[in-house]
Amino acid sequence: MNDKRIEKEINSEIKRQEETINLIASENIISDDVSITLGSVLSNKYAEGYCNKRYYGGCNIVDNIEEICINRACKLFGVSFANVQPYSGSIANLAVYKALLNIGDAILGMDLSAGGHLTHGYKKSISGSEYKSYFYGLNNNGEIDYENVLQIAKKVKPKLIIAGSSTYSKKIDFLKFRKIANEVGAYLLADISHIAGLIVAGLYQNPCSFADVVTSTTHKTLRGPRGAIILSNNDLIMKKINNAVFPFLQGGPHMNTIAAKAVCFYEAMQKEFIDYQKQVVKNAYLMCEEFKKIGYKIVNGGTDTHMFTINVKEKGVSGFEAEKALEEVGIIVNRNIIFGDKNANDVGGIRIGTPSITTRGFKEKEACKIVFFIDQVLKNIKNDLKKQNIKKEVKKLLKK
Ligand SMILES: Cc1ncc(COP(=O)(O)O)c(C=O)c1O
C-alpha cells in the first residue's frame, strides 16, 4: 500500500481485533468471502435506480447481483419483497417512516433507556424531531408489559408501532405487537437488526408474517457487511419504500456491499450458520447464568438471545469505569444506559454479546473464563497489578 499512514492504522486495528476479546453485541467478524466482495471492483460502479431501471449505463452485471441478493433475502426470511439498498439500519428505519407516515404523525417505540434505538423516536434523532414520538418501557422484572403497551397505544393513537431493540435480551412477542397494532389501527414495524441471525437459524420467532414491514442491519448476528435490508409481503408498501430509499434518502446503491450482502445470505443458508447461531445463544445464556450465580443483576432478568446487559452500578462501578477498566485488560464491551439512569453520560450498565467470540470459536469453557475475568476486573478496578495479571490471562486465552 502506498499510503503508509493508513496502512499502519489498518495493521494496528488488525492487531487490536486479534488481541482483544470482543463482547460488543452489535459487532461480528465477516468471512474472507464477504471481505473480498466488499473490496471488489463492484465498488467502482454507479447504479442509481433499481434492477433494469437504472440511470446509468453498464448495469447489466450489477442488475444480476442485486436480483440474486433480493431473491436470497426473500428466501431466507420467507417474504415476497426486499429492498437491499439501505446503507445502514438508521436509513432503513427512516425509509419506512417516509413511506408510511406524514411529518408530525405519532409513532410508538421502546424507550431508549429500556433498549430502544435512536431511530425509534429519540428526540435528538430525526425520528423524534419530525414525528410525534411516544414510548413504552419495561415492567419491574425488566420485561415488555404488553398490556401496558396496549394502554399507551390506545391513548396516543400511533400510526406506527415499532417492535425491536438494541439491548432487550428476552424474546419479543411479535404476534402480541400485531394484535396491539390491529386494535389501534397502526402499522407494525419489526426492527430485527440484532436478532436477524437468530431468526434465520429458527431460534427466534420470525416477524415477517405479522409485521407490515421488517427492517434489519446485515452486520450484527447476520455476520455480513455493514448495511441493511427492508422486507415486506405488501406490494403497495414496498413500492412506497423503494421510492423512499431511492431517490428520497439515498443516491447510488453501494453495489460492492449489495454483493457482499448476497454472499452473507448464501452463508446464512448453510447448516454451519445454524450451528454457529446455536453456539452464540448457548454462550450468551451460560455467561448470563454465571453472572447471576456470582451476584450480578441482569437488566432483563436473563437472556434468550446473543446478548444481555449487567447492572454494574449496583456493584459501585459506573458503566464508563467498567468499560475503561475492561479495555485495559483486553476485553471490549460497551457501557449501556439502563432503566433509572438520569444521564446518558453516566450510565449503570455494560452490554455483553457473544457473536464475535463465537465466530472465533469460543465455546462454554472460554465463555466461563471471560465471566471470571470481568468479575475480577470489576472487583479490582483500582488495582493495576491485578489488572496486569488478568491481561496476561486474557492473552493466554486468545492464543489457544
Ligand atoms: C435495533 C437497531 N436498529 C437500527 C440500528 C441502526 O443501524 P446502523 O448503525 O447501521 O444505522 C441499530 C444499530 O445499532 C439497532 O440496534
The pLDDT tens digits for 300-339 are 999 999 999 999 999 999 999 999 999 999 999 999 999 8
Q: Are residues 302 and 319 in the same domain?
A: yes
Whether the CB-CB separation of 299 and 349 falls below 8 Å is answered with yes
Write the CATH number for 16. 3.90.1150.10
Confidence of residue 344 (pLDDT cuts 50, 70, 90): confident
What pLDDT shows up at residue 345?
83
Q: Are residues 316 and 278 in the same domain?
A: yes
Residue 205 shares a structural domain with residue 220: yes
- pLDDT tens for 96-137 read 999 999 999 999 999 999 999 999 999 999 999 999 999 999
- Residue nearest atom 4 in ligand 1 by C-alpha distance: 89
Specify the pLDDT at position 340.
81
Residues 321 and 262 in one domain: no
Same domain, 135 and 239: yes
If you count them, how many residues does the chain have?
400
17 is in which domain, residue-wise?
Answer: 4-29+271-399
**Region 366-380 average pLDDT:** 97
Please give the Cα distance from 324 to 123 (Å, whole number). 28
Q: CB within 8 A of 18, min separation 6: which ones? A: 398
And the C-alpha cell for 218? 446485515
- Among 200, 233, 268, give the residue marking a domain's end: 268
Nearest to 81, CA basis, from 248, 254, 208, 218: 208
Pairwise CA distance, residues 332 & 319, whole Å? 12
Distance 399 CA to ligand 1 centre (A): 32
What average pLDDT score do residues 50-71 get?
98
Question: SS3 helix, strand, coil % of the chain, rounded to 5?
Answer: 50, 15, 35
pLDDT score, position 189: 98
Indicate the residue among 243, 268, 293 that finishes a domain: 268
The SS3 of residue 107 is strand
Catalytic residue among 215, 217, 305, 359: 217
* 381 CA → ligand 1 middle, Å: 31
DSSP-assigned letter for residue 51:
T
Looking at residue 400, what is its pLDDT? 78
**Phi and psi angles of residue 335, each rounded to the nearest 5 degrees, phi first:** -70, 150
Mean pLDDT of the chain: 97
Rounded Cα–Cα distance for residues 332 and 353 (Å)? 10
pLDDT for the residue numbered 383: 96
The verdict on 221 and 360 lying in the same domain is: no
User: Mean pLDDT throughout 139-151?
Assistant: 96
Boundary (domain end) residue, out of 268, 301, 318: 268
Each residue of 177-219: pLDDT tens digit? 999 999 999 999 999 999 999 999 999 999 999 999 999 999 9
pLDDT average, residue stretch 357-381: 97
Report the CATH number that the domain containing residue 259 is assigned in CATH: 3.40.640.10
Same domain (yes/no): 11, 68:
no
Alpha carbon distance 315, 230 (integer Å): 41
Mode of pairing for the β-strands spanning 331-332 and 334-336: unpaired
For residue 343, pLDDT beyond 90: no
Q: Are residues 298 and 209 in the same domain?
A: no
Residue 276's pLDDT is 98
Task: Please give the pLDDT value at position 95.
Answer: 98
Is 297 known to be catalytic? no
State the distance from the centre of ligand 1 to the C-alpha of 264, rounded, in angstroms.
Answer: 18
Into how many domains does the chain fold? Answer: 2
228: CB partners within 8 A, 6+ apart: 86, 87, 88, 89, 91, 92, 193, 215, 216, 217, 218
State whether 172 and 141 are in the same domain: yes
d(CA 284, CA 368): 10
Mutate to test the pocket of ligand 1, among 117, 199, 257 (most ligand atoms within 8 A of CB): 117
Residue 214: predicted pLDDT: 98
* Residue 245 sits in the same domain as residue 307: no
- Nearest to residue 106, comparing CAs of 77, 66, 135? 135
Ligand 1: residue whose CA is nearest its atom 7 = 89
Q: How far apart are CA 68 and CA 62, in angstroms?
A: 10
Specify whether 313 is located in the same domain as 261.
no
Name residue 67's amino acid.
E
Residues 190, 162: Cα–Cα separation, whole Å: 6
Residue type, 61: I
Compute the average pLDDT of residues 255-269.
98
Q: Is 191 a catalytic residue?
A: yes
- Answer yes or no: 226 catalytic: yes
Both 62 and 137 in a single domain? yes
Classify strands 187-191 and 160-164 as parallel, antiparallel or unpaired: parallel
Is the pTM higher than 0.95? The answer reads yes
Helices (H), the chain: 4-18, 32-38, 60-77, 89-100, 126-129, 146-156, 174-184, 196-200, 235-243, 255-268, 271-293, 319-329, 355-359, 364-379, 384-399
Say yes or no to pLDDT of 260 above 90: yes
